[in-house]
Structure 1
Amino acid sequence: MCNYFQEQTKDSVRQVIFSSLFSPQGNKADDSRMALLGKLVSMAVAVCRVPVLECAAFWLQRTPAVFCVRLARALVDDYCNLVPGSIQTLKQIFTASPRFCCQFITSVTALYDLSSDDLIPPSDLLELIVSWIFEDPRLILITFLNTPIAANLPIGFLELTPLTGLIRWCVKAPLAYKRKKKASLSNGHPPNKIAKDSTSGEDRDCHQLYSKLHLSVLQVLMMLQGHLTEKNLYGRLGLVPFDHVVPLVEDINRLSDELNPLNASKEIELALDRLAQALQVAMASGALLCTRDDLRTVCSRLPHNK
């Protein structure tokens, strides 16, 4: 199958066949279809079959997010969990298919929303995504820049960019990692000194990566005004939807209450600083469409801050 898609010279034929094979039909065959798709895309990553990766990128754009997240999980299992070090193989497709990388990042941020310790992205995956974006921040705009866009996006599909998911990562990370640390200390099995040191070192590296990612996200938001104006979408298309800001504020509230504000004041302050910066730059660039009053109402629910 991998060879067939590689050898098919007509892009339109390739897309139609890929879509007819792997688009969910709402029947019992969907599970088998998804399992086969996971193996095919995983193999295409391993042997760098660009036509398959390009088909998968379009599939991720046109398929309900619930299925996109399943494909992302299959790839993360193959390249982050099964064989240590195999993430390097995934890393190399950055130059081969940036479009696939963009859609992969969007689906991964939908999968890992930091709502629980199980849904914090693995450190290898985080490092991979930050290295891609830091090398070329425009990567996360590829789908947006190359897609004919209507002002209203369909509900239940992946976002046009991973911006909202990446903002969520950067803002929630300080609190989510603090919660994880608190859970490991309170489960009655304090880790030994060596394990504790290696864990704190890994967490420190992750915090630096989130800081780097936050900078890249702000840089991308600053580029957006020109692109939105060029496409005649400035003031008409919110790439950071306001209705995603509301649950993010609620998440910050819930997390800071869980942690006890006195013990997590530094983490709360960092999360709120990142939220304020992201909202300010997103509004200034036209990526976030809302009135100041709307924003004031939502932000009045945040924990006390400077």
Structure 2
Amino acid sequence: MALTDIKHSLRKFEFPVCAKEALIRIEQLLVSRVAPTNKQVDISMDIIAEFIFWEMDRRGNRRSTGLSPLQELQLIDIICDYLSTCANETTKNTIFLSLFGGQESQRRLKVLSILASMAVSASSTPVLLAVGVWLQQMGCSSPQSLQLAENIIRDHFFLNTSNQRVLKSLATTAPQFVSNFITAVTELYMHDEQGSNNMPPRNLLEVITSWVYTNPTLCMSAQLNAAALPNGAIPMAAVTPLAGLIHWCALAPLYVKDEADDKEESTKVKRIKLEHERELTVKPVRKPAREAEVYMMLQLGVLQSLRAARRPPGAPCAVSAQQLAALAPRLAAAACRVQPSPAALQLSNNVCALSLLKSKNIDDLMMVSLQDCLDRIGQAVQVALANGCVYGNISNLLAALDTLPENRLLRIIIKTHQQSI
């Protein structure tokens, strides 16, 4: 059927019915045993612009105003229904990438952000899996992917709401989406070389820690489950979030202030005086884990994930040597801001820390934190190398680590692996 005939038939319907009918026509044009022709792709793009996103009028001119907020919600409902009823993964991803792939306008990205946020709230697996494929094909560090991740974080992670149980379950229901989402998030929350604090929100940190700690293979989900793409599409390599998470854990001791230890206060039995001089005994409330403890738990989860990432020779590896090496300049810059005292140097050689901590010397405490950072990067690199998880130039990685301040664990790791190369 010619483009003019398709458009003529679709113009018989008002919005949003025309959008629903347009999805059917696009599927007929793009989904077949062979890759669609350029003409079929162009026709599909014209239909999407005029009848789905309301970007073009019938004469091909760009509309000054797009969909109203009500029409956006109607369109999102139609797309959700289509994706939920589509049994074929290739068909679903073909249509989804046709709608939102490429360098699209902010209008489409806005619709996609609302769609993804609603899918997170409803734990809609079909929609989230399609969003996960979109993230991978666009590149998890692309501006579009980062903007989508920011919108999801704004809607679900800034406030400590009661939906944590739903969020944590996504690692089981939509692991490919979660893996690619975490990769995008680790791009958003990094530290620049001037040492500015750009830590993730506490609620986001806790959910990601729960995801990674309880699912050792989660970070490799996008690698382990190849995306079902349209015929002729070029699959983009899946990038795991492990390198970004290693950055978070390694830098956390320098940027996260560990709250004062309130164990004594929390274990006291509170007594509240009532009006008639009676007393009500209140059981102590269990306090949430301190942020520093959450990062420790995340570090353990990352190490477990690196162990689970062991793959046969020739299989894709989980961590880039170049990404790990990029952490060295940041730690080196932090080291330049720390002037170690003799007491701190003794501590780095495993001398008892109690007297140093009681001294509350800021430089000494910073030196302790720096050594903690170096220990964490050493742990991650050792587990990754021992399990064959690292791809790229390992010699350059070891050379970058060799520029860092003295640390016993790092010295052993560098020496051991330099000999084996």
TM-score (norm 1): 0.78
Corresponding position of 1:101 = 178
8 Å CA contact retained: 2:183, 2:240:
yes
Residue 238 of structure 1, CA deviation: 4.5
Q: Alignment RMSD, CA only? A: 2.6
Which of 292, 303, 307 is equivalent to 1:218? 303
Which of 357, 379, 383 is equivalent to 1:277? 379
Which of 221, 244, 248 is equivalent to 1:165? 244
Q: Which has the larger radius of gyration?
A: 2
Q: Tell me the alpha carbon deviations over residues 37-90 of structure 1, each in whole angstroms, 9 at most, x when there is no partner.
A: 110011111122211111001111110322211111110000022674444432
Corresponding position of 2:49 = none
Secondary structure of residue in 2 paired with 1:137: coil
1:32 is the counterpart of 2:107? yes
Corresponding position of 1:6 = 84
Residue 254 of structure 1, CA deviation: 1.4
8 Å CA contact retained: 1:107, 1:158:
no
Corresponding position of 1:176 = 255
Corresponding position of 1:268 = 370
Amino acid at match of 2:312: L
Judging by fraction of residues, say which structure has more helix. 1
8 Å CA contact retained: 1:114, 1:176:
no
Matches within 5 A, 1:1-306: 1-25=79-103, 29-64=104-139, 65-66=141-142, 67-81=144-158, 84-115=161-192, 119-147=198-226, 160-177=239-256, 205-225=290-310, 227-229=311-313, 232-233=314-315, 237-261=316-340, 262-263=363-364, 264-289=366-391, 294-306=396-408
Cα distance in 2 for residues equivalent to 1:40 and 1:83: 22
Q: Tell me the alpha carbon deviations over residues 141-165 of structure 1, each in whole angstroms, 9 at most, x when there is no partner.
A: 11111238xxxxxxxx785211111
Cα distance in 1 for residues equivalent to 2:238 and 2:187: 9
Q: How many residues end up aligned between the 2 structures?
A: 268
8 Å CA contact retained: 2:375, 2:407:
no
Q: Tell me the alpha carbon deviations over residues 263-286 of structure 1, each in whole angstroms, 9 at most, x when there is no partner.
A: 401110110001111111111111
**Which ranges in structure 2 are unaligned for 5 or more consecutive residues?**
1-78, 228-235, 260-286, 341-362, 409-421
8 Å CA contact retained: 2:306, 2:383:
yes
**Which ranges in structure 1 are unaligned for 5 or more consecutive residues?**
149-156, 182-200
8 Å CA contact retained: 1:175, 1:267:
yes
Choose between structure 1 and 2 for higher RCO, CA contacts under 8 A separated by at least 6 residues.
1
Cα distance in 2 for residues equivalent to 1:4 and 1:217: 37
Q: Tell me the alpha carbon deviations over residues 11-50 of structure 1, each in whole angstroms, 9 at most, x when there is no partner.
A: 222111110111132xxx5211211111001111112221
Secondary structure of residue in 2 paired with 1:147: coil
